[in-house]
């Protein structure tokens, strides 16, 4: 709403400014026409005075003065035209600058909103994995992976998946990283797969208790058809106790691509802004993990944070870059991800008044890592 109001104000001011300039041009043209007539009259008077000789000397002086006044009026009219035009242009630039600054502030807020939505979503995943790792069917299977306990665990994981549709699959692994049960065995032949070399399993081996969890960056999983997943892991412990003997690990594979796409495509840009922008989610290394308008997973983005958690700047190509680092949610501190909006208007003219060419980045200084 604020951006639309700013755009409406800009249109009104632009129309009023153009109307003012046109009125000034019309009036100045009328003044200049009068001065031309005065000059002509003065010239005619001088000619007549010359014909009349000595007796019209006083009349010649008056004619000369009329000519001088006409010249001064013409000079003032020209000066007024230039001054009005310059001031109208200054007004137009000032309004454009305000509109651009308002849009930039709004983009920063939208970037924050996007990464906050993801963090709140992923916070729930951290709760899910720690809870389900204490399920009796999961604990019994990890303790003794016999055919009957595996079947019971897979039925239980399947029931969970039927209620939680944001997951592709749930895997129960032994301490060596071998998958001993999964929630969708008919869809994904994951049982028996070796997950010991995955990043999430490497992190899971360091979990100190059942209250902890591990998570890796967004990755593709071959056993899940190459889908993009965010995998969260908790340790399965004896008796489901937080400090019980480790028995294995429960890995839950969050179906990342459709969930993240709905977030970046749901950012509330106007139709015009959306056509000229990319909305991105970046990992801590500024690589794309989700984005609009053809952004590719893993694409490196030269985000210039300047050590800030949030900010706004214009890059060398004239694009407006708004960013915000994840603030975390509840007990979930996040992974250092960024929400980013790249705005590339057809003309960068309106960006210049809002952002100086010297120091363009601005935002809240914090403990963000550039």
Chosen domain end from 64, 98, 132: 98
The answer on 237 and 131 residing in a single domain is yes
Residue 206 domain-assigned?
A: yes
CA distance 333 to 315: 30
Q: Say whether pLDDT at 89 is over 80.
A: no
Residue 343 domain-assigned?
A: no
Residue 185 domain-assigned?
A: yes
CA distance 305 to 325: 9
Mean pLDDT within 169-173: 98
The answer on 164 and 240 residing in a single domain is yes
Mean pLDDT within 240-263: 95
Mean pLDDT within 106-111: 94
Nearest by Cα to 211 from 122, 134, 303: 134
pLDDT of residue 52: 63
Which pLDDT band holds residue 335 (cuts at 50, 70, 90)? confident
Which pLDDT band holds residue 121 (cuts at 50, 70, 90)? confident
pLDDT of residue 360: 43
Query: pLDDT: is 251 or 335 the higher one?
Result: 251
Helix (H) or strand (E) holding 311, with range, is strand 310-314
Residue 348 domain-assigned?
A: no
Asked whether the beta carbons of 322 and 338 are under 8 A apart, the reply is: no
Q: Say whether pLDDT at 77 is over 70.
A: no
The answer on 136 and 15 residing in a single domain is no
Chosen domain end from 259, 290, 312: 259
Which pLDDT band holds residue 357 (cuts at 50, 70, 90)? very low
The answer on 75 and 150 residing in a single domain is no
The answer on 178 and 94 residing in a single domain is no
Helices (H), the chain: 2-52, 57-132, 136-143, 147-163, 199-204, 256-265, 271-275, 351-354
Query: pLDDT: is 5 or 260 the higher one?
Result: 260
Residue 76 domain-assigned?
A: yes
The answer on 129 and 94 residing in a single domain is no
The answer on 88 and 6 residing in a single domain is yes
Residue 15 domain-assigned?
A: yes
Q: CA angle, 46 as apex, 44 and 52 as ends, to 5°?
A: 105
Residue 274 domain-assigned?
A: no
Q: How many domains does the chain have?
A: 2
Q: What is the mean pLDDT of the chain?
A: 82
What is the value of pTM for the model shown? 0.70
Q: Say whether pLDDT at 279 is over 60.
A: yes
The answer on 177 and 138 residing in a single domain is yes
Residue 338 domain-assigned?
A: no
Asked whether the beta carbons of 84 and 17 are under 8 A apart, the reply is: no
Residues 6+ apart with CB under 8 A from 246: 175, 235, 236, 237, 238
Query: pLDDT: is 135 or 103 the higher one?
Result: 135
Q: Say whether pLDDT at 286 is over 90.
A: yes
Q: Is 141 buried (19+), middle (13-18) or exposed (0-12) by CB count in 10 A?
A: buried
The answer on 61 and 146 residing in a single domain is no
Q: Say whether pLDDT at 19 is over 90.
A: no
CATH for 210: 3.30.450.20
Chosen domain end from 224, 259, 294: 259
The answer on 131 and 241 residing in a single domain is yes
The answer on 47 and 150 residing in a single domain is no
CATH for 14: 1.10.287.950
pLDDT of residue 73: 67
Q: How far is CA 61 from CA 45, 46, 244, 331, in A?
A: 10, 9, 115, 93
Rg of the chain in Å (alpha carbons): 36
CA distance 164 to 144: 26
CA distance 294 to 261: 11
For residue 354, the Cα-to-chain-centroid distance in whole angstroms is 17
CA distance 77 to 15: 23
pLDDT of residue 361: 44
Do the bridges between strand 214-215 and strand 227-237 make them parallel or antiparallel, or are there none, so unpaired?
antiparallel
CA distance 313 to 328: 24
The answer on 173 and 137 residing in a single domain is yes
Q: Say whether pLDDT at 342 is over 50.
A: yes
Residues 6+ apart with CB under 8 A from 132: 138, 157, 160, 170, 234, 250, 252
CA distance 179 to 142: 10
Range of the domain at 249: 124-259
């Amino acid at each position: 709403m604020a951006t639309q109001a700013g755009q409406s104000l800009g249109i009104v001011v632009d129309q009023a400014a153009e109307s003012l300039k046109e009125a000034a041009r019309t009036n100045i043209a009328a003044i200049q026409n009068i001065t031309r007539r005065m000059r002509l009259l003065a010239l005619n008077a001088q000619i007549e005075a010359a014909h009349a000789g000595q007796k019209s000397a006083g009349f010649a002086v008056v004619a000369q003065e009329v000519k001088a006044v006409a010249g001064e009026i013409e000079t003032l009219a020209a000066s007024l035209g230039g001054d009005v035009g310059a001031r109208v242009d200054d007004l137009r630039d000032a309004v454009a600058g305000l509109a651009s600054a308002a849009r930039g502030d709004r983009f920063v807020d939208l970037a924050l909103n996007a990464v906050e939505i993801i963090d709140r979503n992923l916070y729930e995943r951290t709760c899910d994995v720690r809870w389900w790792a204490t399920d009796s069917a999961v604990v019994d299977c990890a303790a003794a992976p016999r055919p009957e306990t595996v079947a019971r665990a897979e039925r239980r994981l399947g029931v969970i998946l039927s209620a939680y549709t944001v997951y592709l699959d749930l895997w129960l692994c032994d301490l060596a990283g071998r998958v001993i049960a999964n929630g969708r065995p008919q869809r994904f032949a994951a049982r028996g797969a070796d997950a010991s070399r995955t990043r999430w399993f490497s992190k899971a081996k360091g979990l100190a208790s059942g209250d902890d969890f591990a998570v890796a960056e967004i990755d593709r999983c071959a056993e899940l058809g190459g889908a993009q997943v965010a995998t969260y892991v908790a340790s399965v412990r004896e008796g489901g106790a937080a400090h019980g003997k480790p028995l294995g690990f429960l890995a839950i594979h969050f179906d990342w691509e459709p969930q993240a796409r709905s977030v970046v495509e749901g950012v509330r840009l106007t139709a015009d802004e959306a056509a000229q922008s990319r909305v991105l989610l970046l990992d801590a290394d500024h690589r794309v993990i989700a984005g609009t308008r053809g952004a590719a997973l893993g694409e490196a983005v030269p985000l210039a944070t300047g050590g800030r958690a949030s900010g706004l700047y214009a890059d060398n190509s004239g694009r407006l870059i708004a960013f915000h680092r994840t603030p975390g949610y509840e007990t979930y501190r996040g992974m250092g991800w960024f929400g980013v909006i790249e705005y590339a208007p057809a003309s960068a003219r309106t960006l210049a008044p809002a952002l100086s060419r010297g120091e363009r980045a601005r935002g809240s200084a914090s403990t963000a890592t550039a």
